[in-house]
Amino acid sequence: MEVGGDDILNKNQGGRLIWAFPLVVLTVLLISFGFYQWVIPRTDLELRTVYHEAPGGGGTGGTLNINVLLSNLGNREVESLECSVSVSLKGGGIIAKHGSGPDDLAAGENIEIKITSIGSQYETYLIDMDVRFDCSGDTYTSSFKYETVEDVMNIVFVENLG
């Protein structure tokens, strides 16, 4: 019985191909991710609004903290970013108002707006936001209205524009 040298050679080459397939798949996935991340133009501005209510002691009321984080998650520069945030009672009357801009955000940068005010945990508040920015010749404008719940002390709202 004779074992041909060609059969042994073919078995060894097949073993090498088994290891090559995962490397080819991994390479294709990495190239696809890199192409999506850095080559295809994307506009993606994330607005993350965090509402926190800290009750006060002894009938002094409490503190309302509203933090708005504007993050450029895309790969294009966001230009002339303007954002205004106002907090009011559900029945009417503005408690606090703050704005920022115009600012420019490169890819991966962010801006934070902080509002602190005296309030009560037994009230329902309305948070109004107006956002405007330019990106690659296009103008984006959006308005958001959020309502807090009387018995919830922490709420997070997330929006993506672009």
Domains of the chain, residue spans: 1-40, 45-161
Judge whether 95 and 120 are in contact, CB under 8 Å. no
Which pTM was predicted?
0.71
Judge whether 67 and 83 are in contact, CB under 8 Å. no
- Rounded Cα–Cα distance for residues 162 and 145 (Å): 18
Question: What digits encode the pLDDT tens for the residues 79-105?
Answer: 999 999 999 988 888 888 998 878 888
User: Greater confidence, 46 or 37?
Assistant: 46
pLDDT at 50: 92
Within 10 angstroms of residue 56's Cβ, the number of other Cβ atoms is 13
Domain 45-161 fold:
Immunoglobulin-like (2.60.40)
User: Greater confidence, 75 or 10?
Assistant: 75
Please, which pLDDT band fits residue 138 given cuts at 50, 70 and 90? confident
Judge whether 87 and 115 are in contact, CB under 8 Å. yes
pLDDT at 114: 92
Q: Which of 18, 47, 29, 5 has its CA nearest to residue 162?
A: 47
